[in-house]
Amino acid sequence: MTDARLILAERLGVSRGFRDHAGQWRETPVETAVALLAALGRPAPTAAQAQAALLDEDAGRLPQDVICAPGSRPDPGFDAWRLTLEDGAQSEGRGLLPPLPLGIHRLEAAGRNYTLLCAPPDLPPPARCWGLIAPLYGISAAGIGSYDDLALLAQGMARHGAAFLGINPIHAGFPTLPQLFSPYTPSHRRRLNVIHLPGGAGSTGPRVDYARDIPARMAALRAEYDGRPGDPAFDAWQADQGESLDRFALHQALSARLGAFWGDWPAGFGAPDTPAALAARAELAEEMRFHAWLQWRAERALAAAGQAARDGGMKHGLYLDLAVGTHPHGAETWEDRASFAMGASLGAPPDGFAPQGQNWGLAPFNPLALRAAAYAPLAQTLRRQLQFAGCLRIDHIPGFERAFWVPDGAPGAYVAMPRDAMLAVIRIEAARAGRAVIIGEDLGHISDGLREALAASGILGCRVAMFERESHHPPVFRPAAAYDRAAVASFSTHDLPTWRGWRQGADIAARARLAGQDAAAARQERAQEVAALDRLLPDNSLDALHGFLARTPSLLVAVQAELLLDMADQPNLPGTVGEYPNWQARLPMAAGDFPALPLVAGTASIMRDNDR
C-alpha cells in the first residue's frame, strides 16, 4: 500500500518521481515527501497524520483561480456574490459579474473564495530588433560598474540603433558580506543593489575586486549621506514607500550589527514584527534612514539610465533580469517568510553535466502560499522590475511549470507550480507597465507544453545557437531560417562560453583543470561541433556569426559584449564558486568608450541590413 505521506505530497503538487536525462525513473522517497510537505507548510511527519490530512477536505482550502480577459463578465454560477477589486472597491450582486478591469481581484460566492486574474490573453509581439547584453559590474574602468556607467553605455548603443541594453540582475545584495556578490543570489528582488551607485576609489585590473571595492563604495556613500543637506524629494519618496521600505531598511541596519543572514541572528530578531525587532526601530532610526536613502539614490540612478536609453532612441530601453529565487536568509524572506518554502532549495535534477544534481541555495516561492495571497508576491516582484525595464528576462522559467526542490538531507523532487495563473500575472504586469517585452529563459529540462504556453501568452523564449541542433551525434546545427520567431536569439549566455572560448575549448580546459581529468575526448567533440557550425557560415568570423543571428526569424537578437571584445573566458562557470572567477571579469573597454569600437559599428550595420 502506498504511504499516505506520498499520496498527500502528490495531492499538494510533489511529483511521485521523474525520469532523468538517462531515461532512468527516480521515485520520490518518503523522506523527501515528508521534508517537502514541511516546506510547503503542511507538515505530516507520520503516515497517520498524512491520512488525517487527506480526510479533512476543508483543511487549508485555497482560492480557486479564474483567468479572464479585461472587460469580461464571468458568471460565477451562484445566486449571490461579493466582489473586491484590486483597488479595494467592493460590490455585491447576483448573476453575471460587472465588467472587470485589468488586475487581480477577489470573489466570494457560496462559501468559496476565488482569485480573478483579469489578464490580456497574450502580449503583443515586438518588432524585429537587436540589443546589447553587458555585465553591469564589469563596464567601469575602475571599481564596480555603476548605474551612471550604464547610462553612458545606453546612450552610446542607442546611437547605433540598439533597441535594448541588457544587464545582470541588480537586486539588493549583501553589502556587509563582500564575498557574496553573485547577482543570482539576491537578498531582496524588490530592492536594488546599491553597490552599483558611483562612489569611492575602485580597483583596476582585469577583475573586479569586490572585497576592496564594496567597502570603499559603501564608505563613500556614507560620507555623501552624512554631508548632505535635507532633501524634501527624498522625504516624500520615503513616506510614500511605506512599511515595506521600513522593513527592508531595518533588515539592512540589523545586518550591519548582527551579521548578513537573519538565520544567524538572536532568536528575538528572526522576523520584522517581533518585540525585539520593533524596539530596534527606534534605536536604529538613523541607520534605517541611511539605507532608505541608498534605495532612493539607486532608484533615481537606474531610472536616469533608462531615460538616457529612451532619450537616445532605444525603443525598449533597459532589459533587466529577474533571478529565479532569493537567498533563504536575506531581506526578502525576513520580510515575507510565509511566501517561501523554507527548508528546501531550488536546484536541478541529476544530468550529464551534474551527475549528483544541483542545489542552488535559493528559497523558492511556495505555490500554496502564492495562491492563498492571490499571487501578490509574484505580482509585486514583477512590477518592481518593470518599473525600470522595457524588457524583462525571467531566469529559469521552467520553474513556472514545475520547480525542482532539494530538501535538507534528502533527494530532490519536482513540485508543481500554478503555471497558467503565474503566466496570467506576467501578462497583467507587462500590460500594466505599458506593453513590456517578456523573455522566459526556457533552457534545460523543459516540460511538455511549456513552450507552447509561453508562446500563447506572447512570452519570448531563448534560442542559443550552440544548443540549436538537428542532431547531436554527429553535430548538425539548425539553419538560421529554422529558428523560432517568438524568441531572442544569441550565440551564448552568461553561463556558457564566449564565441572565442567555445571555439578554443576554454570551458573544457577550465573544467578539466578543476576536475583533474583528461579532456581529449571533449576537445575532439568540440572540434566537430565548431566545424559543423562553420558549415552554416561564410567564414568563422564574428561578423559571420552575427549575420547568421540577424537572419533568423527570431524577433530579438542579443549581441554579447564579451564577444565583441574577443574575450575567451565566460562570465560564470556553473557548478563553481571560488574555483573560478565568476562575475568578476572586467570588460577591457569602459562603458563610455565601448560604443566607439569598429566592431560595434559593423555589427549595427549587419543588423540594419537585416531589418533590425
Count CB neighbours of 406 within 10 A.
24
Count CB neighbours of 45 within 10 A.
12
Does residue 474 have a cis bond before it (omega within 30 degrees)? yes
Does residue 318 sit in helix, strand or coil?
A: strand
Within 13 Å of residue 52, how many CA atoms lie on the same side as its CB? 8
Count CB neighbours of 259 within 10 A.
14
pLDDT tier at 352, thresholds 50, 70, 90: low
What percent of the chain is predicted at pLDDT more than 70?
99
pLDDT tier at 19, thresholds 50, 70, 90: confident
Asked if the model's pLDDT at residue 355 lies above 70, the reply is: no
For 162, 260, 326, 328, 337, the CA distances from 265, given in Å and listed in that order, are 47, 9, 18, 14, 15
The per-residue pLDDT for 444 is 82
Fold adopted by 129-609: TIM Barrel (3.20.20)
**pLDDT per residue over 448-504, tens digit each?**
899 999 999 999 999 999 999 999 999 999 999 999 999 999 999 999 999 999 999
Please give the grid coordinates belonging to residue 31.
523522506
Q: Per-residue DSSP letters for 576-608?
A: -STTTTTT-BPPSS-TTTGGG-HHHHHHHHHHH
The residues facing 414 across adjacent strands are 404
**pLDDT per residue over 228-258, tens digit each?**
888 999 999 999 999 999 999 999 999 999 9
Cα separation of 501 and 517, whole Å? 19
The per-residue pLDDT for 59 is 61
Contact of 326 with 182, CB cutoff 8 Å: no
| Buried-exposed string 173-206: b where 16+ CB fall within 10 A, e elsewhere | bbbbebebbbbbbbbbbbbbbbbbbbbbebbeee
**pLDDT per residue over 275-315, tens digit each?**
999 999 999 999 999 999 999 999 999 999 999 999 999 99
The per-residue pLDDT for 77 is 79
Q: Give a three-class secondary structure readout of 435-480.
A: CCEEEECCCCCCCCCHHHHHHHHCCEEEEEHHHCEEECCCCEECCH
**CA gyration radius for the chain?**
25
Contact of 30 with 82, CB cutoff 8 Å: no
Contact of 496 with 466, CB cutoff 8 Å: yes
The per-residue pLDDT for 228 is 86
The residues facing 348 across adjacent strands are 358
Q: CB within 8 A of 418, min separation 6: which ones? A: 65, 367, 370, 371
Please give the grid coordinates belonging to residue 28.
520520490
Does residue 274 sit in helix, strand or coil?
A: coil
Cite the DSSP H helix spans in 12-160: 30-39, 47-55, 147-159
What percent of the chain is predicted at pLDDT more than 90?
89
The per-residue pLDDT for 247 is 98
Sketch the domain layout of the chain as residue ranges.
4-55, 70-118, 129-609
Asked if the model's pLDDT at residue 517 lies above 80, the reply is: yes
Cα separation of 212 and 218, whole Å? 11
| Buried-exposed string 372-403: b where 16+ CB fall within 10 A, e elsewhere | bbbbebbbbbbbbbbebbbbbbbbbbbbbbbb
Q: How far apart, in Å, do the first and last CA atoms of the chain sit?
A: 61
Query: What are the phi and psi torsion angles at 405 (to 5°)?
Result: -105, 135
Cα separation of 267 and 195, whole Å? 29
Which residue, among 609, 606, 477, 450, has the nearest Cα to 536 in the 3D structure? 477
Q: What is the DSSP letter of 611?
A: T
Which residue, among 101, 47, 49, 52, has the nearest Cα to 73 in the 3D structure? 101
The per-residue pLDDT for 353 is 61
Q: Per-residue DSSP letters for 334-399?
A: HH-GGGB-TTEEEEE---SS-TT-EE---BPB-HHHHHHTTTHHHHHHHHHHHTT-SEEEETTGGG
**pLDDT per residue over 424-446, tens digit each?**
999 999 999 998 999 999 998 88
Mean pLDDT of the chain: 95
For 116, 129, 159, 551, the CA distances from 554, given in Å and listed in that order, are 33, 9, 23, 8
Cα separation of 500 and 498, whole Å? 5
Asked if the model's pLDDT at residue 603 lies above 70, the reply is: yes
The per-residue pLDDT for 200 is 85
Asked if the model's pLDDT at residue 323 lies above 70, the reply is: yes
Query: What are the phi and psi torsion angles at 561 (to 5°)?
Result: -60, -40
**pLDDT per residue over 37-71, tens digit each?**
999 999 999 999 999 999 986 665 778 999 999 99
Q: At what angle do helices 450-457 and 419-433 cross, to 10 degrees?
A: 30
Asked if the model's pLDDT at residue 599 lies above 80, the reply is: yes
Cα separation of 118 and 87, whole Å? 13
Asked if the model's pLDDT at residue 356 lies above 90, the reply is: no
Contact of 73 with 62, CB cutoff 8 Å: no
Which stretch of 14-18, 354-358, 482-486, 550-554 has the lowest confidence by average pLDDT? 354-358
Q: What is the DSSP letter of 538?
A: S
The per-residue pLDDT for 259 is 97
The per-residue pLDDT for 507 is 96
Contact of 5 with 50, CB cutoff 8 Å: yes
Q: What is the DSSP letter of 82?
A: E
Contact of 37 with 63, CB cutoff 8 Å: no
- Is the C-alpha dihedral spanning 318, 323, 329, 334 positive or negative? positive
pLDDT tier at 553, thresholds 50, 70, 90: very high
**Burial label, 111 (beta-carbon count in 10 A; 0-12, 13-18, 19+):** exposed
pLDDT tier at 76, thresholds 50, 70, 90: confident
Please give the grid coordinates belonging to residue 312.
537616445
Cα separation of 95 and 471, whole Å? 56
Which stretch of 11-25, 57-71, 96-110, 512-526 has the lowest confidence by average pLDDT? 57-71
Please give the grid coordinates belonging to residue 529.
561541433
The per-residue pLDDT for 354 is 66
Could you tell me where the beta strands, DSSP code E, fall in 493-604? 556-560
